[in-house]
Structures are given as C-alpha cells and as structure tokens.
C-alpha cells in the first residue's frame, strides 16, 4: 500500500519541489498508520490518548453523544452554582470546535442524538440542533439532568419528565413530580429506564416506562445510588457510587456485579460487544459481557463523567475539559482517506 501511494505522487507531472513535499507528507501519514496499527494490535482498550478541548481548566464536560458523523460534548462550570454552558463538536474525537449557543444557557449536563437531531439539557431550558452548530432553545423555566432518545421521542428528566418528538415542543409527562431526582436515562428493549438519586435507605432506585408517559418505580437491594444507565447487548447496565454495577434485561429485576473498584462510576456506554464504564479519579473499566470487568489505565486522574462511541472508537469526557480518546478499532479508517486525497491533489 505504501509503495502504491508513493508511486501515485511521483507520476504527477508537477515540479520536483512539490513532489518532494507530497512524498514527505505521505511518508509521515504512512508512519502514523503503522504506529496506530502497532499500538492497537494487542488490545485497543489498553490505549487511550488525552486530547485538548481548548476549554478553560474550570470547565467540566458532563455529557457526550455521537451522531450524523460527529461527537457533541456539553458542559460548563461545576454544577453547584452553575455558569455559562458550553458545547464543542468533533468529527473524530481528537480535534474539537466550540459552538455558539444562546447567551442565557447555563451549565449543560447531558446530550442525546436521535432522528437527525441533537438535544442538550442542563441547568436551563433545552437546546436543539440539526447539525451541532446552530442551537435553539425552548421550554423556558425548566432544567434537566439527563436526556435520551427512543421510540421516536426525546425524554428529558430531572425532578420532572418531559417528552418531545422534535426537540422544540415539549409535553409534561403524566407521571411528573417524582419523590426523587432522575440522574440518567436510557432506551432499549422497548422501554425507557431512568436511574434515580434515591431517597429510600438500603435501596437503589429506578423508574421504567414503555411509552415515556407513565413511569413505575423499581428497586435493587444494592442500596447504592446509581449515577448512569445505558443499554446494550440486550441488557441495561447501571453504574454508581462505590463502584456499583447493576445489570437487568428488563429494567425491573437487577443483578449486582463485581466491578473490582470502589471509585464512583459516573458514565457507561456499549458498542461492538464492549461495555465501557468511567468514573472518579480517571477510573476506566471495560467488559465484554457486563459481568466481568477489567480495570484499564486511562492516563488521567481527572474525573471522567461520560463516554460515547463513534467513528471507530470510544471517547470519554470529564473534569477540567478532559477528553480521552481510545485507540481506534480501525486505525486506517480516516488516515487512508487523507492519503488518497493527497495523492490526487493538483499542484
């Protein structure tokens, strides 16, 4: 492959100087490709790289999603007291671009993608965008801690639950007014499941719904607060305080798993037979079956709050603008495209 690319450059009827420049560029790209292949050869889950978000050190990133060819991450200052919210986007998880959002937007805590639309929520009204760049606000006087998409609708939750099919017009759920605060929500197997901060001693609290309107409580005897929940491989997986990991096939009956850590786990995601959980102090765990978990070296001691998958790899975000990118499952995916384009450029 390397020889083919270099030959394509030398066949170009351009002057020698520009040909040499292209040769150097292609050599660098091919070197990066070989390096990426080597670093991912053993186990891509062992290789994570810190990337710059170009955000102030006081900014936390609380949520991340992937859709329509890009990652979208949201955040702001610490939740207590709040401050101006931020949204950044990236096609690959490595290079990030800040986006302009309404001036009165406070700290954003979560973001979801569905049906060609991004929706972000937090300490002020929800924001919606078709492209991750142009954002509009709706539903004044509300705040939410989490948002998810499923069954043709967005579900935004906190102390109340609202549902929307377009991110602009929201309807208050008939089950509004919970005795506890909902911290995370996911959709799978025909139903929504939300994790709750809990007010019942000795119990971990969840709510589930088949339509986003009527919600019913369910409990686990783990007795620890769940902070995040996700769905994959036919299972809901919830993570929480003290290394809590719970799994459920229906959102009703929950089984506690041994995480091997006592760190608070704050985010979890699934794709391609792999679960990834992240948490305080840079804690990072992976599992292929949700029952057996492996502690990985993340390379950071900053809290990791959320994780998402896209463009061939996982990306985790967290405190102080931390962005952590997993070594791509297919390291040649983007580099090959750039190499071919270089060989075809005209002088």
Distance CA 15, CA 11 (A): 11
Distance CA 305, CA 60 (A): 9
CA triple 236-239-242, angle to 5 deg: 155
What angle in degrees, to the nearest 10, is found between the helix axes of 16-41 and 333-344?
A: 170
Under CATH, to which class is 48-326 assigned?
Answer: mainly beta
Query: With contact defined as beta carbons under 8 Å apart, do 128 and 118 qualify?
Result: yes
Q: Which residues contact 89 (CB under 8 A, 6 or more apart)?
A: 70, 71, 72, 73, 96, 97, 99, 132, 133
CA triple 303-306-310, angle to 5 deg: 130
Q: Which residues make up the CATH 2.130.10.10 domain(s) of the chain?
A: 48-326
pLDDT tens for the chain, 347 residues long, are: 444 443 343 444 444 444 443 443 344 434 444 444 434 544 688 899 999 998 998 999 999 999 999 999 999 997 666 789 999 999 999 999 999 999 999 999 999 999 999 999 999 999 999 999 999 999 988 899 999 999 999 999 998 999 999 999 999 986 656 777 899 999 999 999 999 986 666 788 999 999 999 999 888 888 888 999 999 999 999 999 999 999 999 999 999 999 999 999 999 999 989 999 999 999 999 999 999 999 999 999 999 999 999 999 999 999 999 999 998 644 444 433 222 232 223 33
Query: With contact defined as beta carbons under 8 Å apart, do 265 and 256 qualify?
Result: no
What CA–CA distances, in Å, run from 18 to 4, 8, 22, 341, 347?
18, 13, 6, 15, 7
Query: With contact defined as beta carbons under 8 Å apart, do 49 and 40 qualify?
Result: no
Q: What is the pLDDT of residue 310?
A: 96
CA quadruple 278, 280, 283, 287: dihedral positive or negative? negative
What CA–CA distances, in Å, run from 210 to 155, 270, 346?
12, 21, 56
Residue by residue, DSSP assigns 57-90 as TT-EEEEEEEETTEEEEEEES-TTT--B-EEEEE
Q: What is the pLDDT of residue 10?
A: 41
What CA–CA distances, in Å, run from 46 to 23, 128, 175, 307?
32, 35, 43, 16
Distance CA 59, CA 14 (A): 48
**Full-model pTM:** 0.83
Burial of 303 (0-12, 13-18, 19+ CB in 10 A): buried
What angle in degrees, to the nearest 10, is found between the helix axes of 333-344 and 2-10?
A: 20
Report DSSP state, residue 26.
Answer: H
């Amino acid at each position: 492959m390397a020889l083919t690319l270099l030959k394509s450059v030398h066949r170009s009827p351009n002057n020698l100087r520009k040909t040499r420049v292209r040769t150097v560029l292609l050599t660098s790209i091919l070197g990066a490709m070989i390096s990426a292949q080597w670093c991912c050869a053993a186990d891509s889950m062992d290789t994570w790289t810190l990337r710059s978000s170009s955000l102030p050190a006081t900014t936390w990133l609380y949520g991340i999603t992937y859709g329509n060819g890009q990652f979208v991450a949201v955040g702001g200052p610490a939740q207590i007291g709040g401050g101006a919210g931020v949204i950044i986007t990236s096609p690959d998880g490595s290079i990030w671009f800040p986006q302009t959002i309404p001036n009165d937007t406070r700290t954003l805590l979560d973001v979801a993608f569905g049906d060609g639309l991004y929706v972000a929520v937090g300490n002020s009204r929800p924001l919606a965008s078709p492209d991750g760049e142009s954002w509009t606000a709706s539903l004044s006087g509300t705040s939410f801690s989490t948002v998810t998409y499923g069954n043709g609708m967005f579900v935004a939750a906190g102390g109340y639950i609202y549902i929307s099919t377009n991110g602009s017009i929201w309807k208050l759920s008939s089950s509004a007014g919970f005795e506890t605060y909902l911290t995370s929500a996911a959709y799978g197997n025909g139903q929504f499941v939300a994790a709750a901060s809990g007010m019942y001693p000795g119990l971990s609290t969840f709510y589930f719904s088949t339509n986003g309107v009527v919600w019913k409580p369910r409990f686990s005897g783990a007795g620890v607060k769940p902070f995040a929940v996700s769905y994959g491989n036919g299972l809901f997986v919830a993570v929480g305080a003290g290394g809590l990991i719970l799994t459920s096939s229906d959102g009703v009956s929950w089984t506690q798993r041994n995480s091997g850590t006592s760190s608070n786990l704050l985010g979890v995601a699934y794709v391609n037979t792999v679960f990834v959980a992240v948490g305080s102090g840079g804690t990072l765990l992976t599992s292929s079956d949700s029952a057996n978990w492996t502690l990985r070296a993340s390379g950071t001691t900053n809290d990791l709050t959320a994780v998402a998958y896209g463009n061939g790899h996982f990306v985790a975000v967290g405190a102080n603008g931390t962005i952590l990118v997993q070594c791509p499952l297919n390291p040649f995916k983007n580099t090959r495209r750039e190499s071919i384009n270089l060989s075809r450029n005209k002088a």
